[in-house]
Amino acid sequence: MARAPEGAGHTIVVALGGNALLPAGERGDIHQQFAHTRKSLEPIVALAGEGWKIAVVHGNGPQIGDELFRNELARRELPPLPLGVLVAATAGWIGYMIQQSLQNALERAGVARDVVTVITQVLVDPEDPATREPSKPIGRVLSAQKARLLAQELGWKVGPAQSGWRQLVPSPRPIAVVEREQIRRLIDGGTIVIAAGGGGTPAYRDPVLRLEGVDAVVDKDRAAEVLAHDLRAEALLILTNVEGVYRGYGTEHAELLRELTAAEAETLLDAGELGRGSMGPKVEAALDFVRGGGRRAHIARLDHGLAAVKGDAGTVITAD
């Protein structure tokens, strides 16, 4: 009797960074972004071949920064679009790139799965202090001089990044995915769903207007965790540009941590071992997932996605 694929019947949510599609240092024209998109989807094709039911959440950090800048350049000729609408716009065209590239890759691999993109609203608390205090870095890395100039000319708030300066925008914590039932039905039918693109478009429920948008950018790893919880997923896979979670990252004594309990991961966070703007939010999302009933969360390098899910690469975080 043939053995069932390892992921058959189980749901996984995969979080893919916007930097994977537009790496730092590149001009980032659409041809380059398509090329990076095609390369980044190899682990998702492999997971589909193993029978996993899949939702893909992607970031938009570099892209939303470009859209805001393009918005400002066109301000004298066209009405500017607010940040929340631009998040939805990036979710549309990045979703299109992923959807087309993934469908082609699945067909080449002989994996019969449909792919759709769902423009997703993510509920946030309008009273969350983070909606009023820009803290999330987006866009391209700038020199200090360029950052100061844009802050003066465009009114941007900017802050230091790992290798320069970046624009900062509000980033409230996500609470729930509005379209979760529609996404669940699609996934249960075998469709791979690209959802909560750019972290999803932030919204809140107004007693009169019903759903109303918020001008902010939700962290895509936190949005992926909320979606994984809403879908009752077996696993959360966060793909990044490093091997996994390290103790002492960036030092000569850096140690890759292959397995962590939630308590151990929390200790690392409390000790300041993980950067607030890099690995920290990924580990926090993983913690929320496993403590909310998820079985396991994986953090791994982009090209090690399937190996991580099999326990052969990256870091796996489980409940205490």
Active-site positions read 18-19, 136, 220, 282
How far, in Å, CA of 110 to CA of 304, rounded?
21
CA-wise closest residue to 263 among 243, 286, 237, 235: 286
Q: What residue type is assigned to position 212 of the chain? A: E
The Cα–Cα gap between 273 and 70 comes to: 37
Token match 């039911």: residue?
Answer: 53
Amino acid at 122: V
Q: Which residues of 178-209 are buried (b: 16+ CB within 10 A; e: fewer)?
A: bbbeebbebbeeebbbbbbbbbbbbbbeeeee
User: What's the N-to-C CA distance of the chain in angstroms?
Assistant: 37
Q: Cα–Cα distance between 117 and 119 in angstroms, integer?
A: 6
- Runs of H (alpha helix) within 23-179: 30-40, 42-49, 61-73, 83-109, 144-154
Amino acid letter, 131: T
Q: Determine how β-strand 259-261 pairs with β-strand 315-318.
A: parallel
Alpha-carbon distance of 222 to 141, in angstroms, equals: 23
Residues facing residue 203 across a β-bridge? 123, 213
CB 56 within 8 A of CB 98: yes
Cβ-count burial of 220 within 10 angstroms (0-12 exposed, 13-18 middle, 19+ buried)? buried
Residues 6+ apart with CB under 8 A from 35: none
